[in-house]
Structure 1
Amino acid sequence: MHSTLILCSASLIILTLLLAFWTSLQRGSSKTIAYNAPLEPTSGMAKAQRAHGNAAEYAALLVGLFIMTGFAYAGRDLGLAVTSLVIAITASRFLHALGFLMCATLEKPHVLKAIGALITYLGGLALSVMVILKAL
Structure 2
Amino acid sequence: MHTILIICSAILVILTLLLAFWTSITRARTKTIAYDAATDPAGPMLKAQRAHGNSAEYAGVLIGLFLLTGLVYAGRDLGLTVTILVIAITTARILHAIGFLVCVTLERPHPLKAVGALVTYLGGLALALIVLVKVL
Identity over aligned residues, as a percent? 68
Question: What does residue 16 of structure 1 align with?
Answer: 16
CA displacement, residues 49-83 of structure 1 (integer Å, 9 cap, x when unaligned): 00000000000000000000000000000000000
Residue 24 of structure 2: SS of its match in structure 1? helix
Question: What does residue 115 of structure 1 align with?
Answer: 115
Question: What does residue 33 of structure 1 align with?
Answer: 33
- How far apart are residue 37 of structure 1 and its match? 1.3
Matches within 5 A, 1:80-91: 80-91=80-91
Q: Which whole-Å CA distance do the structure 2 matches of 1:42 and 1:114 have between them?
A: 17
Matches within 5 A, 1:53-72: 53-72=53-72
- How far apart are residue 20 of structure 1 and its match? 0.1
Q: Which whole-Å CA distance do the structure 1 matches of 2:72 and 2:118 have between them?
A: 25
Structure 2 residue identity aligned to 1:36: D
Q: Which runs of at least 4 in structure 1 moved beyond 2 Å after TM superposition? A: none
Structure 2 residue identity aligned to 1:31: K
Asked if residue 49 in structure 1 is aligned to residue 49 in structure 2, the reply is yes
Q: Which whole-Å CA distance do the structure 1 matches of 2:126 and 2:18 have between them?
A: 28
Q: Which whole-Å CA distance do the structure 1 matches of 2:132 and 2:28 have between them?
A: 45
What is the TM-score normalised by the length of structure 1? 0.99
What is the TM-score normalised by the length of structure 2? 0.99
Q: Which whole-Å CA distance do the structure 1 matches of 2:83 and 2:126 have between them?
A: 12
Question: What does residue 96 of structure 1 align with?
Answer: 96
Question: What does residue 133 of structure 2 align with?
Answer: 133
- How far apart are residue 17 of structure 1 and its match? 0.1
Cα RMSD over matched residues?
Answer: 0.5
- How far apart are residue 41 of structure 1 and its match? 0.8
* Structure 2: gaps of 5 or more residues: none
How many residues end up aligned between the 2 structures? Answer: 136
